[in-house]
Structure 1
């Protein structure tokens, strides 16, 4: 959306009429010409700003041409001014307007009326274009989660839709004493421009301080900021604008834009920049809140997972964790590996829900298991102790529950496991094939006296034990789940291929994401491979 001369497509089979219209519109308009309806439809695909359409054409009458233009998604937005020397009664005017014309003139028409009508239709077109642009930007900004994404959307719009040469965005730091460069399309970036003092003598700093927009050209820049004009000319010069970024009464920074050419920005362009800056500021405020909440969630989530996995002699360990598509809340999936005298305790679990309540229950589960793993011998006993802790904390009527799996791994390859309402463990054998370590009890936290038992297995060198949460098998493409069959088919190949624990965890995670495109649910994967 630039300030170039408006393009007008004249569709008329009369050379005399086309010549006359070209004379009427000369100077302010770039005139394209077509002699037939077919040629006019083809040229309309080049998106002129306005179409002057004669009703009487040699191949397709103007009413039908107008109807086709308005039915085509590519051309329906172009205003059409119909003209006719023969269809001059009220019925013809009504028919033309109902065919989609935005205005209808009958000949003879005074040239001043023709030009004034064309200008009026162009004003409507420009207003619609502005609204369409702001709507498109709003849609794009609604999906921009971070401030980095927001500023890229805005600068891309400035260059791609408004004809700007460059766009630059500065935001205040936390102290409000400096403006930090958030994004620029300028290359290379002058190191002195990365951080501007609050009181710096620049248009950006002044606009950010005062909240008042500034518009100018090289001459005004030289008069007010002589130290900046040389660098500005080196970047291309031209007209410029500095617009404040203000959201809900708070000044966030400023937007700087440069345009090729010395012509002053018209009022419509200035108004559009101010509206775009308002959209940008509100999106930046939302993105800042998202980033803050995401930081809190990530910090809490990190505190609920082991910082690193221990080393187990004679075995490899690997884990993968995904907190969901947007990770705005703390997830309920967790895993841990705990050393104890006779071996190692592996645990994986899934707390119902997300957010603060899920985080509290996850913390309770993890700390309970860590404490009880040192005192209780059997995995089933550890799971029952966790059940009792959940009931003591939230009761059995709260509908809050945990699914969990607990495995005691011995140095000789023995495996004792209890899975309470949780997906079963899977053993990928070195020679191929997959064996299931079954579910041995119900969900934790719901029943008064659940019965949980132990299952036993053994890992030979090259075998891998895979624990996972339901986010793996419930990864969804439309209505199609990733499912247990796909997971088992994948694991059947890892033993013969001799994949490491890390490679196995990667393969499961990548297959899950590839199936679903993204993972909305949390998922955790814990792999132990005997070497």
Structure 2
């Protein structure tokens, strides 16, 4: 180009570089491409505006779904959205692989995105070369998809916080696996260590109960809800000089700190640390972000389930009696075992009642259902039955009165006769320790 000649247009430069331009407005649901981008999508080489459905039809369905996740991640981190996309031809074969780079913007009021970016064909490297080993190829993509499916399934099946942490510690990510993992929780205004993998006991003590206003990556992630990626020790030291001395002796080279967000609330942070340098490409960040989201959901479910179990088991224990320690001529023992699943609370009960005659009443019963209402009715019925027994009634009379009591409280509350009324079964034994005689009545 001679001095003084006009510069070529941006479109001419991009066309010369085999790079297309595109614009996607999710509010309008339209994608506009220039001639080169149209060619890369397998269309005639001329500018055209496509609907989202028409655009989606040109791309591999898995890649289309991935685009939305990468866009959200880029908006959250204020970075470029970069993703590799397989363009499909009419018979479902892969026509070519293209790389899309864009800068997305988000309208929080309309909750829509607008993206302007480039599209360029990816030339796959020669097999066996260093470039081939490091490239994000279809095999890597399939490995990543398989990994995420396996990780999601394993985390979904974890039933306790300990199981979730054990699954997280055993995750082997395709192409890059951390050797140190830490899950941070929040207690008041301080970080807590919920679990860790790859560290010796006591190694993480300096990071436990650290104030949230500390200049530490995990604390920043909890405060802001934004991920922090540190690709080198120098970057860690420059960004977090106050806490770098605590992290330095672990001998790591790269770190990723990601928010654990569930139900729109950041409940902690997840650290993945690597002994070798990691560039944290958009693909690697997408994998880490997806794992962090699954981990947050799994921890939230496990925590809720553990709280529920503790509450319901406490409720059930509070309704079960204490056995009379010593009765001449008798030895009494009881064991209560929930069936498992659900709330593990219901209408089952047993009781041991000292009677005015000196005899002992032994009771085992069940109100229909395995829910909180069954447990509530059971508690009332048990108290009523104890009261009738304490009045000195015979076993059949005790059960008759208890039956009328149950009928009265269920009908008095206006329960639907078909769906809400509960029945109960009961075995009532009046035992005479002196003679060994039993008088038994059954109901239900």
TM, length-normalised to structure 1: 0.54
Per-residue deviation at 1:357? Answer: 1.8
1:183 aligns with 195
Q: How far did residue 353 of structure 1 move?
A: 0.6
C-alpha contact (below 8 Å) 1:168/1:257 kept by paired residues: yes
**Distance between the aligned counterparts of 1:347 and 1:146, measured in 2?**
35
Choose from 147, 152, 156 the match for 1:133. Answer: 147
When normalised by structure 2's length, the TM-score is 0.64
1:235 and 2:250 matched: yes
**1:369-380 superposed matches below 5 A:** 369-380=385-396
Is the contact made by 2:347 and 2:378 (CA closer than 8 Å) also made in structure 1?
Answer: yes
For 2:323 and 2:255, the matched residues in 1 are separated by 52
Q: Does 1:404 align with 2:405?
A: no
Pair 414,308 (structure 1): closer, same or farther in 2 beyond 3 Å = closer
Cross-structure match for 2:219: 205
Please say if residues 255 and 272 of structure 2, whose CA atoms lie closer than 8 Å, have aligned partners that are also in contact: yes
Q: Is the 8 A contact 1:164 1:257 kept in 2?
A: yes
* Equivalence for 1:481: none
Residues 178 and 231 from structure 1, CA distance in 2 versus in 1: closer, same or farther, beyond 3 angstroms? closer
1:268-311 deviations in Å (ceiling 9; x for gaps): 22211111101111222222332333233223212211245543
Aligned Cα root-mean-square deviation (Å): 3.0
Aligned partners of 1:246 and 1:252 also within 8 Å: yes
Question: 1:255: Cα distance to partner?
Answer: 0.4
* 1:316 partner SS: coil
Aligned to 2:20: none
Q: Which residue does 2:234 correspond to in 1?
A: 219
Q: 2:378 aligns with which of 362, 370, 374?
A: 362
Q: How far apart in 1 are the matches of 2:251 and 2:135?
A: 34
Cα distance, 1:161–1:264 mapped onto 2, change above 3 Å: closer
User: Displacement, 1:332?
Assistant: 1.6
Distance 2:355 2:175 in 1: 64
Change in 2 beyond 3 A, CA 1:415/1:102: farther
1:413 to partner: Cα distance: 4.5
| Number of residue pairs the alignment of both structures matches | 314
Structure 1: distance between partners of 2:213 and 2:196: 21
1:458-487 residue CA offsets vs partner (Å, 9 max, x unmatched): xxxxxxxxxxxxxxxxxxxxxxxxxxxxxx
Aligned match of 1:195: 209
CA distance in 2: counterparts of 1:198 and 1:393, whole angstroms: 52
2:123 is equivalent to residue 123 of structure 1: no
**Which whole-Å CA distance do the structure 2 matches of 1:419 and 1:187 have between them?**
62
Mapped partners of 1:150, 1:138: distance in 2: 11
Classify 1:381/1:416 alpha carbon distance in 2 versus 1 (closer, same or farther; 3 Å). Answer: farther
Structure-2 residue corresponding to 1:520: none
* Structure 1 match to 2:103: none
Spell out the pairing of 1:11-410 with structure 2 (5 A cutoff): 115=125, 123-157=137-171, 162-173=176-187, 175=188, 177-185=189-197, 186-190=199-203, 191-216=205-230, 217-307=232-322, 309-326=324-341, 328-341=343-356, 342-395=358-411, 400-410=422-432
Give, in angstroms, the shift of residue 169 of structure 1.
Answer: 0.3
Segments of 5+ residues of structure 1 without an aligned counterpart are 1-97, 104-111, 421-441, 444-531
State the alpha-carbon separation in 2 of the partners of residues 114 and 162 from structure 1.
21
Cα distance, 1:142 vs structure 2: 1.8
Change in Cα spacing, 1:354 to 1:203, as seen in structure 2 (3 Å) is same
- Give the distance between the partners of 2:184 and 2:259, measured in 1 at CA: 10
Question: Distance in 2 between the 1:133 and 1:413 partners?
Answer: 69
Query: For the residues of structure 2 that align with 1:337 and 1:192, how far apart are their CA atoms?
Result: 53
Checking the alignment, whether the CA contact within 8 Å between 1:159 and 1:165 is kept in structure 2 is: no
Q: Tell me which moved more, 302-311 or 370-379.
A: 302-311
SS in 2 for 1:334: strand
- Are the equivalent residues in 1 in contact too, given 2:308–2:343 (CA < 8 A)? yes
